[in-house]
Amino acid sequence: MAQRFYSTSSVSEFVDLREAVLRSLPPDNGLYMPERLPGPEEVLQPGWRDWPFAELGYRIVSALFAGAVPDDTLREIVGESINFDAPLVTIAEKMHVLELFHGPSLAFKDFGARFMARLMGWLTREDERDLVVLVATSGDTGGAVASAFHGVPGTRVVVLYPSGKVSDLQEKQLTTLGDNITALEVSGTFDDCQRLVKAAFLNRELSEELNLTSANSINIARLIPQAFYYFHAARQLPEGAKPVFVVPSGNFGNLTAGLLARLMGLPVGQFVAATNVNDVVPAYLESGIYEPRSSLPTISNAMDVGAPSNFVRMLEIHQHQHGLMANRIAGRCFDDDETRAAIRAVKADTGYVIDPHGAVAYLAAKSWQADHPGDEMIVLETAHPSKFLDVMEEELGEGVVEIPERLACLAAREKEAVELPPEEEVFLDWLGQMSG
C-alpha cells in the first residue's frame, strides 16, 4: 500500500502524499508524519555502500513512499535534485566534517528544496492554478527555495525573512531573483515569520483560494531528502562504525531527518543537538520542561529559533517520552564569544575554515569527545563560510575565505523586498491581494 501520512495532533486520520505535500500543514495545526517507515532490511540492501549518491537517495525514498510515485518518475526527481556531492572531510583524529554546501545555493537546504520543487511539479502537473509557495527563513532556507523554484512554471514563491537578521549575501539570495520570487522583509524575528506562515495555512479559505503550500521543514517533502546525506556520511566511514552526528540546530528539521534515518537503519551511535543561546531544546533534554521563547540574534543566525516547529515531530518519534529522547539526543549550547573562538581555533589547529553554525557544532563535538574519546564524530557543516563573510573576516582576516562566483555576482544586484510588520492581519491582507 502506498505511503499515507497522519498529523501529530490526530493519529487516526490519514492523507495521501499529494495532500501531505501540497497542504503542508494539517488543519489541526499538527505536522504530517509517515504512517510507516521502512526498516533497515528494506533500505540497507546489499551493496548500499557502493551505490551512487543519487541511487542511494532513490532507494531510501522509494522504500518510504511505497509506490506513491512511479519508480521512473521518482528516480528522475532524485537524480535531478541530488546532482552534487556531500563529502566527508577529516580534520583531526576521529573528527570529520560533512560538507553540505556544494549545491546551487551553498547550503544544506538545497537537498530538500530541489527535491520538493520537482516533487511538487509532478504532483501538480495537471493543475490549472498556480501553486503559491510560502517559506519563512532564518537565513539559508529562503535562498535554497528561491533557487529551486526560480522560473518554475505554475509557481509563485513568497519568502518571509526577519529584517536585519540574515547575512548580507543571504539577503541578496532572497531579494535579487525577481520573476516568480517575492521577498517580504518582516520587522521581527524568524519566529514571527514562521507564525505568519502558519496563520496563512490555518486560514483555510485563503489557503484554498491561493492554492498555498509551504517550503519550510514543516513540509514533510522538505524533510525526507535530508535523511539521504546521513546514510551517505555513514558509509564514508569504515563498515561497522557508528558515528556520533553533531547537528547545528534551529528549527530542528535537520536533526529530525537524522532521527527518521536512524529508524530506517542508519548506523549511528548518538545524536548531539548543537545550538547557540536559543537553547530551548537542550534545556528540555536536561529538564524535561519545554519552554519556547522569543529568539535572540546571534552570529549563527540560521539557528536563531525560539519555538522550533519540528519539536512536535521529535516528540512523536520518541513516543512523547522525555527519557527516551534524552537518551538518544544530547544537547549542547554555546554563545557568540565561544563560537568566534572556535572559528579561530579550527583554522589554527586543523587549517579548516568553518562557518559559525559549523563552529557551534564543532564545540559540541569536542565537548562530547572529551567524555567519549573513542567515538567517531561527524559535524554537519550546513553552509559555505563565505555566506557569513563579515564574521569570518573579523575572526580570520580578509582574503582567507574565498567567495564562490555564484555568490560574488550577487553583490552588484539590487535588493527588491516588500517591508511588512509582524502582524497577522497585515500579512493576510497582503496575501489576499495576490488573489485579487
Averaged pLDDT for residues 137-146: 78
Residue 38: what pLDDT? 94
**Residue appearing with cell numbers 518571509:** 160
Mark 153-172 as b/e (b = at least 16 C-beta within 10 Å). eebbbbbbbbbebbbebbbb
336-350 helix and 356-371 helix, angle to the nearest 10 degrees: 80
β-strand partners of 275: 333
pLDDT confidence of 37, banded at 50, 70, 90?
very high
> For 256-281, what is the mean pLDDT?
97
pLDDT digits (tens, 9 = 90+) for 101-141: 999 889 998 999 899 989 998 998 888 888 888 888 877 77
pLDDT value for 249:
96
Name the band, by pLDDT with cuts 50, 70 and 90, for residue 406: confident
- 133 pairs with which residues across the strands? 157, 213
Angle made by CA atoms 51, 53, 55, in degrees to the nearest 5:
60
Give 148: exposed, middle or buried? Use CB within 10 Å, 0-12, 13-18, 19+. buried
Going 347 to 349 to 351 to 355, the CA torsion angle's sign is negative
Q: How far apart are CA 132 and CA 207, in angstroms?
A: 9
Average pLDDT over residues 305-333: 96
What confidence category does residue 69 fall into, taking pLDDT thresholds of 50, 70 and 90? very high
Matching residue, cell 525514498: 61
- Using left for φ > 0, alpha for ψ between -120 and 50, and beta otherwise, residue 151 falls in left
CATH number of 84-105+223-401: 3.40.50.1100
State the pLDDT at residue 435: 64
Of residues 424 and 1, more confidence is placed in 424
pLDDT band at 429 (very low <50, low <70, confident <90, very high): very high
Per residue in 346-403, pLDDT (tens digit) is 999 999 999 999 999 999 999 999 999 999 999 999 999 998 999 999 999 998 998 8
* DSSP state, residue 303: G
Residues 6+ apart with CB under 8 A from 141: 109, 113, 135, 215, 216, 217, 302
**Strand 377-381 relative to strand 212-214: parallel, antiparallel, unpaired?**
unpaired
Q: 89 CB contacts (<8 Å, ≥6 apart)?
A: 96, 97, 98, 99, 352
* Dist CA 79 CA 73 (whole Å): 10
What is the gyration radius of the CA atoms in the chain, in angstroms?
A: 20
CA angle 345, 380, 359 (to 5 degrees): 25
Query: Rounded to the nearest 5°, which phi and psi values hold at 19?
Result: -65, -45
Q: What is the pLDDT of residue 436?
A: 55
Alpha-carbon distance of 177 to 413, in angstroms, equals 9
Assign 433 a pLDDT band (cuts: 50, 70, 90): confident
Rounded to an integer, what distance in angstroms lies between the CA atom of residue 209 and that of residue 193?
21
Q: Sort 54 into a burial class: Cβ within 10 Å, 0-12 / 13-18 / 19+.
A: middle
Q: Cα–chain-centroid distance for residue 105?
A: 13
d(CA 204, CA 308): 23
Residue 122, classified by CB atoms within 10 Å of its CB into exposed (0-12), middle (13-18) or buried (19+), is middle
Average pLDDT over residues 145-174: 85
Q: Which of 176, 186, 120, 190 is nearest to 147 (CA)?
A: 176
Residue 59: which pLDDT band, with cuts at 50, 70 and 90? Answer: very high
Across the range 193-216, mean pLDDT stands at 87
pLDDT at residue 177, as a whole number: 80
Q: Is 90 exceeded by the pLDDT of residue 228?
A: yes
**Beta-bridge mates of residue 183:** 159
Tens-place pLDDT, residues 273-313: 999 999 999 999 999 999 999 989 999 988 999 999 999 99
The CA-atom distances, in angstroms, between 147 and each of 141, 182, 216, 382, 404 are: 10, 12, 14, 17, 16
> For all residues of the chain together, what is the average pLDDT?
92
Domain locations in the chain? 84-105+223-401
Does position 410 have pLDDT exceeding 80, yes or no? no
Task: Please report the beta strands in 177-289, taking only residues with DSSP state E, as ranges in sequence order.
Answer: 181-186, 212-214, 244-248, 270-275
Contact 37, 264 (CB under 8 A): yes
Q: In this predicted structure, what is the pLDDT of residue 96?
A: 98
Lowest mean pLDDT among 56-65, 170-179, 247-256: 170-179
